[in-house]
Amino acid sequence: MTRKIIRTDAAPAPVGPYNQAIAASGQMIFVAGQIPLDPQSGEIIGTGDVTAQTKQVMANLEAILAAAGAKFQDVVKTTVFLKDMNDFAAMNAVYAQHFDETNAPARACVQVSRLPKDVLVEIECIAAIAT
Protein backbone atom coordinates (compact mmCIF):
# COMPACT_ATOMS: atom_id res chain seq x y z
CA MET A 1 0.00 0.00 0.00
CA THR A 2 1.21 3.47 -0.78
CA ARG A 3 -0.02 6.49 1.12
CA LYS A 4 1.04 10.05 0.36
CA ILE A 5 -0.05 13.17 2.24
CA ILE A 6 -1.16 15.96 -0.10
CA ARG A 7 -0.66 19.52 1.18
CA THR A 8 -0.84 22.85 -0.54
CA ASP A 9 -0.63 26.44 0.65
CA ALA A 10 -3.19 27.29 -2.05
CA ALA A 11 -5.97 25.82 0.14
CA PRO A 12 -6.74 26.30 3.84
CA ALA A 13 -4.49 24.38 6.23
CA PRO A 14 -6.12 21.69 8.38
CA VAL A 15 -7.35 22.91 11.76
CA GLY A 16 -7.26 19.57 13.52
CA PRO A 17 -6.14 15.95 13.23
CA TYR A 18 -6.69 15.60 9.48
CA ASN A 19 -4.96 16.42 6.19
CA GLN A 20 -6.17 18.16 3.05
CA ALA A 21 -5.92 14.98 0.98
CA ILE A 22 -4.36 11.52 0.85
CA ALA A 23 -3.26 9.69 -2.29
CA ALA A 24 -3.47 5.94 -1.67
CA SER A 25 -3.21 2.70 -3.54
CA GLY A 26 -3.86 -0.84 -2.39
CA GLN A 27 -6.90 -2.80 -1.29
CA MET A 28 -9.61 -0.34 -0.27
CA ILE A 29 -11.74 -0.99 2.81
CA PHE A 30 -14.97 0.97 3.11
CA VAL A 31 -16.19 0.91 6.71
CA ALA A 32 -19.86 1.67 7.26
CA GLY A 33 -20.81 4.43 9.65
CA GLN A 34 -20.42 3.31 13.25
CA ILE A 35 -22.53 4.51 16.12
CA PRO A 36 -21.79 3.95 19.84
CA LEU A 37 -23.32 0.49 20.17
CA ASP A 38 -21.76 -2.01 22.54
CA PRO A 39 -21.00 -5.02 20.30
CA GLN A 40 -21.96 -7.50 23.03
CA SER A 41 -25.21 -6.04 24.36
CA GLY A 42 -26.30 -3.93 21.37
CA GLU A 43 -27.00 -1.08 23.82
CA ILE A 44 -26.03 2.55 23.26
CA ILE A 45 -22.94 3.55 25.24
CA GLY A 46 -22.76 7.00 26.86
CA THR A 47 -26.29 8.31 26.41
CA GLY A 48 -26.04 12.11 26.25
CA ASP A 49 -22.20 12.07 26.47
CA VAL A 50 -20.46 12.72 23.14
CA THR A 51 -17.03 11.89 24.60
CA ALA A 52 -18.12 8.43 25.74
CA GLN A 53 -20.00 7.89 22.49
CA THR A 54 -16.98 8.88 20.37
CA LYS A 55 -14.76 6.50 22.35
CA GLN A 56 -17.15 3.63 21.57
CA VAL A 57 -17.42 4.62 17.91
CA MET A 58 -13.63 4.62 17.60
CA ALA A 59 -13.43 1.22 19.33
CA ASN A 60 -15.99 -0.15 16.86
CA LEU A 61 -14.05 1.27 13.91
CA GLU A 62 -10.81 -0.17 15.26
CA ALA A 63 -12.37 -3.64 15.62
CA ILE A 64 -13.69 -3.60 12.04
CA LEU A 65 -10.39 -2.33 10.66
CA ALA A 66 -8.54 -5.09 12.56
CA ALA A 67 -10.89 -7.72 11.12
CA ALA A 68 -9.91 -6.44 7.66
CA GLY A 69 -6.19 -6.48 8.50
CA ALA A 70 -5.97 -2.70 8.84
CA LYS A 71 -5.15 -0.13 11.53
CA PHE A 72 -6.03 3.52 12.06
CA GLN A 73 -2.79 4.50 10.28
CA ASP A 74 -4.21 2.88 7.12
CA VAL A 75 -7.29 5.14 7.13
CA VAL A 76 -7.25 7.65 4.28
CA LYS A 77 -10.67 9.32 4.72
CA THR A 78 -13.23 9.75 7.49
CA THR A 79 -16.63 11.36 7.64
CA VAL A 80 -17.95 12.46 11.02
CA PHE A 81 -21.64 13.10 11.54
CA LEU A 82 -22.58 15.10 14.65
CA LYS A 83 -26.05 15.77 15.98
CA ASP A 84 -24.78 19.10 17.34
CA MET A 85 -21.69 20.93 16.02
CA ASN A 86 -21.24 22.31 19.55
CA ASP A 87 -19.94 18.79 20.36
CA PHE A 88 -17.10 19.18 17.83
CA ALA A 89 -14.32 19.94 20.34
CA ALA A 90 -15.21 16.99 22.58
CA MET A 91 -15.46 14.59 19.62
CA ASN A 92 -12.24 15.96 18.13
CA ALA A 93 -10.32 15.42 21.40
CA VAL A 94 -11.15 11.70 21.31
CA TYR A 95 -10.61 11.45 17.54
CA ALA A 96 -7.16 13.06 17.89
CA GLN A 97 -6.08 10.24 20.23
CA HIS A 98 -6.29 7.88 17.24
CA PHE A 99 -4.83 10.04 14.45
CA ASP A 100 -1.56 11.99 14.54
CA GLU A 101 -2.01 15.39 12.85
CA THR A 102 1.01 14.92 10.58
CA ASN A 103 -0.33 11.80 8.83
CA ALA A 104 -4.03 11.81 9.75
CA PRO A 105 -6.60 11.00 7.05
CA ALA A 106 -8.63 13.51 5.09
CA ARG A 107 -11.86 14.29 6.94
CA ALA A 108 -15.28 15.87 6.61
CA CYS A 109 -17.42 16.73 9.63
CA VAL A 110 -21.06 17.73 9.33
CA GLN A 111 -23.99 18.41 11.62
CA VAL A 112 -27.06 16.35 10.83
CA SER A 113 -30.62 16.63 12.06
CA ARG A 114 -30.83 13.05 13.32
CA LEU A 115 -28.70 9.92 13.61
CA PRO A 116 -29.72 6.27 14.07
CA LYS A 117 -31.06 5.53 17.57
CA ASP A 118 -30.75 9.27 18.29
CA VAL A 119 -27.02 9.00 19.07
CA LEU A 120 -24.77 12.06 19.12
CA VAL A 121 -22.04 10.88 16.72
CA GLU A 122 -21.47 8.52 13.81
CA ILE A 123 -18.18 8.02 11.96
CA GLU A 124 -17.38 6.15 8.74
CA CYS A 125 -13.98 5.62 7.17
CA ILE A 126 -12.05 4.39 4.17
CA ALA A 127 -8.72 2.58 4.60
CA ALA A 128 -6.16 1.26 2.12
CA ILE A 129 -3.90 -1.73 2.81
CA ALA A 130 -1.28 -3.60 0.82
CA THR A 131 -2.64 -6.26 -1.49
Give the pairing of strands 121-129 and 27-34. antiparallel
DSSP assignment letter at 40: T
Per-residue pLDDT of 51-110, as tens digits, reads 999 999 999 999 999 999 999 999 999 999 999 999 999 999 999 999 988 889 999 999
Q: How far is the C-alpha of 121 from the C-alpha of 116, rounded, in Å? A: 9
Round to whole Å and give the CA distance between 47 and 120. Answer: 8
Give the pLDDT confidence of 106-122 residue by residue, as tens digits.
Answer: 999 999 999 999 999 99
Q: Catalytic site residue 125?
A: no
Residue 102 is predicted with a pLDDT of 84
Give the number of other Cβ atoms within 10 Å of residue 52's Cβ.
Answer: 17
Q: Of 29, 57, 90, 109, which residue is the catalytic one?
A: 109
**How many DSSP H helices and E strands does the chain contain?**
2, 6
